[in-house]
Structure formats: C-alpha cells, structure tokens
C-alpha cells in the first residue's frame, strides 16, 4: 500500500499485489492521506489525514479495517503535538504514534481509541517500530541518503548506498528492503540475491510512502 495522486489530483491510498500488476485505489476522499502502515497480516492500516498542507493544519491518526472498512480516529490530547508517523507492534496489538513532542501509544481498535504517552521502558520498542529496521532480529536500518537515494546503516554505524536513484525506502517483510524507482518498486534481499521489480500498472502519479504486509487480505506493498 502506498500514497499517490489520483486522476482527481487528490492524495489517496493505493495498493498493488507484491507480485506487481494493476493498482487499486483504496481511499476516495478530498482530504490528504499519508504515512500508511499496515499490520503484519495486512488486514488493518493506520495513516495520517489532514485537510490541506497549510501551516498548523491539524492531522488525525486514522485506523481502517480493510475487511469491513470500519474507520476509527485515534484521539490524541492537545498536548501531544502534531502526529508525524505511525507504526504497529509486531503482534498488531499496539499502535505507536510519533509526534513533534514525543511518542504515544494506543490499543488497537476496537479497544480504547485514545492515546497515552509511551512509558520510558517501552521507548526502545516504539523507536524500533517507527524506524525502518531490517532483519530478524533487527540489525540494520534503511534510510534516505543525505545526498538522495537509499542507504542502509549497519550495526556498527557503517553506511552503504543501496540505490542512488531510489526513493521512499520501506521494509519488505523480515529479510528484504524496497524502494520506488522510476515506474515500479525495487525489492532487494538482505542476503546475496538479485533485485526484482514490482511493476505498477495504471498507478497514480508520484507514488511514495509505502508499507508492505504479507497477510491474509492480499500481498500488498
């Protein structure tokens, strides 16, 4: 699943099979949706939503069940600040939210739909979920390179350039990393192997901000 600009020029969420092919539009609103994160099974997605990009525009944290299309807005206290990104715990029981003022967490719907601060003892777990850590156990982190492209940071802080042209890096399962490049998604294993390309047929303009899940709904990036 990823963010793109449809024919109506609205910023919505889209999905495609992990094997590539036709792109399916998931949301249809005049609002701006961004930073999607699927649960490990791919049945639920959390993302940010706002009316426009004007300074100070309030963002909502939204959770949608992709089986029933039930929607829940996660309540953040006014003191929490602006949401910047979301992520799920490994068992999808907890949603972590990074704001410009700290880390918050909420129980996965249909439980309580309000967020509380992440306790100091859980900060490392929340940080790990909110960053693109690779491997199991997680030992490397994928980031956007300072000069552009996609980089990986190893356990000793060493940095390797994975692609000079890539953008929108994402974790692809437990053993691979992926990124947008030209009109598709490049997938690369952490071990020795060839890259493969996931094609996007009839996709939206400016695809970006992707999330991957190998789950029961379908295999979607």
More confident residue, 194 or 83: 83
Q: Report CA Rg, the chain.
A: 17
pLDDT at 5 over 70: yes
The pLDDT value given to residue 216: 42
Instruction: Please check the confidence at residue 217 and state whether its pLDDT lies above 60.
Output: no
Q: What pTM did the predictor assign?
A: 0.88
Angle at 123 (CA atoms; ends 119, 127), nearest 5 degrees: 145
191-to-60, 135, 175 alpha-carbon distances in Å: 38, 10, 8
Q: Is the pLDDT of residue 126 over 50?
A: yes
Three-state secondary structure readout of 46-75: EEEEECCCCCCCCCEEEEEECCCCCEEEEE
Which has the higher per-residue pLDDT, 42 or 193?
A: 42
Task: Count structural domains, the chain.
Answer: 1
Per-range mean pLDDT, top range of 32-46, 47-61, 119-133: 32-46
Q: Taking residues 170-175, what's their average pLDDT?
A: 83
Q: Which range of residues forms the domain containing residue 77? A: 2-220
Section 163-168 average pLDDT: 92
pLDDT at 219 over 60: no
The percentage of the chain sitting over the pLDDT mark of 70, rounded to a whole number, equals: 95
What does the pLDDT look like over 53-94, one tens digit per residue?
A: 777 788 999 999 999 989 999 999 989 999 999 999 989 999
What is the CATH classification number for the domain harbouring 101? 2.120.10.30
pLDDT at 218: 42
* pLDDT in the model for residue 215: 61
Residue 23 burial (CB < 10 Å; 0-12/13-18/19+)?
A: buried
Instruction: Look over the chain and give the mean of its residue pLDDT values, rounded to a whole number.
Output: 89
Mean pLDDT, residues 163-179: 88
Averaged pLDDT for residues 212-219: 60
pLDDT above 60 (res 125): yes
């Amino acid at each position: 699943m990823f963010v793109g600009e449809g024919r109506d020029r609205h910023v919505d969420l889209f999905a495609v099979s992990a094997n590539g092919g036709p792109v399916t539009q998931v949301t249809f609103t005049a609002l701006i949706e961004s930073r999607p994160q699927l649960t490990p099974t791919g049945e639920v997605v959390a993302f940010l939503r706002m009316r426009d990009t004007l300074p100070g525009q309030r963002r909502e944290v939204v959770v949608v069940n992709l089986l029933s299309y039930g929607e829940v807005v996660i309540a953040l206290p006014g003191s929490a600040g602006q949401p910047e990104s979301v992520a799920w715990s490994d068992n999808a029981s907890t949603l972590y939210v990074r704001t410009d003022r700290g880390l918050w967490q909420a129980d996965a719907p249909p439980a309580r739909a309000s967020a509380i601060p992440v306790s100091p003892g859980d900060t490392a777990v929340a940080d790990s979920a909110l960053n693109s850590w690779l491997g199991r156990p997680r030992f490397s982190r994928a980031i956007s390179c300072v000069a552009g492209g996609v980089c990986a940071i190893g356990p000793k802080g060493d940095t390797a350039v994975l692609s000079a042209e890539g953008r929108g890096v994402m974790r692809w399962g437990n053993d691979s990393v992926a990124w947008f490049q030209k009109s598709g998604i490049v997938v690369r294993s952490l071990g020795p192997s060839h890259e493969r390309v996931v094609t996007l047929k009839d996709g939206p303009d400016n695809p970006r901000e992707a999330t991957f899940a190998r789950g029961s709904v379908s295999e979607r990036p």
